[in-house]
Amino acid sequence: MEKRVLVLNLDHSPVAVVPVQKALVLTFLDKVSCLSFYESLIIRTVTKEYRYPAVIRLNEYRNIPYKGVLLNRANLFRRDGHECQYCGSRKHLTIDHIIPRSKGGKTNWYNLITACHRCNVYKGDKTPDQAGLALRTEPFKPTLSFFLADYAERHAEEWIPFLDVRTV
């Protein structure tokens, strides 16, 4: 499988993940510096061999407006480790508004959690306190690093020293 390349801004904050061809073009244009390589891989062309970049850094600071990780079902489940945040079940997962919408609860990272169907139905239109349920973890807004760390652990250990996996 072809490995992906992590792109960092000049201040070392992650900004993108690109295919290796794109990383090589940026290298040849002198737009990036390579900070880390996949040591076990080599890129061969007809006449040359190149080291395979794992992490590259832009040579000039680019102001890239970061919109944050998309709030959707898949990303919410990933943030919560695919576990109901009330009982820990991994089955029949749904999305729960901690403070119900009918009570003014917002649709954002801090008010949405993964809940199994059973807990969701049991909780109904109540707050966790009213329903006697406790959250297993505090909901947080995940950073790009948080999601990249997930990929890095499985496919790209070379990225890990460059990722700040703390969450905001």
Would you tell me which residues interact with Zn ion (CB under 5 A)?
Answer: 84, 86-87, 89, 116, 119
Q: Which residue has the tokens 């652990």?
A: 153
What residues pair up with 14 in beta bridges, in sequence order? 8
Shortest distance, position 141 Cβ to Zn ion, whole Å: 22
Shortest distance, position 113 Cβ to Zn ion, whole Å: 10
Considering the complex, state which of residue 10 and residue 87 has its C-beta at the smaller distance from Zn ion. 87
- In the numeric block, which tokens belong to residue 124? 């109904």
CA dist 147 and 163 (Å) reads 10
Shortest distance, position 106 Cβ to Zn ion, whole Å: 22
Considering the complex, state which of residue 80 and residue 158 has its C-beta at the smaller distance from Zn ion. 80
Shortest distance, position 50 Cβ to Zn ion, whole Å: 50
Considering the complex, state which of residue 10 and residue 135 has its C-beta at the smaller distance from Zn ion. 135
Considering the complex, state which of residue 13 and residue 100 has its C-beta at the smaller distance from Zn ion. 100
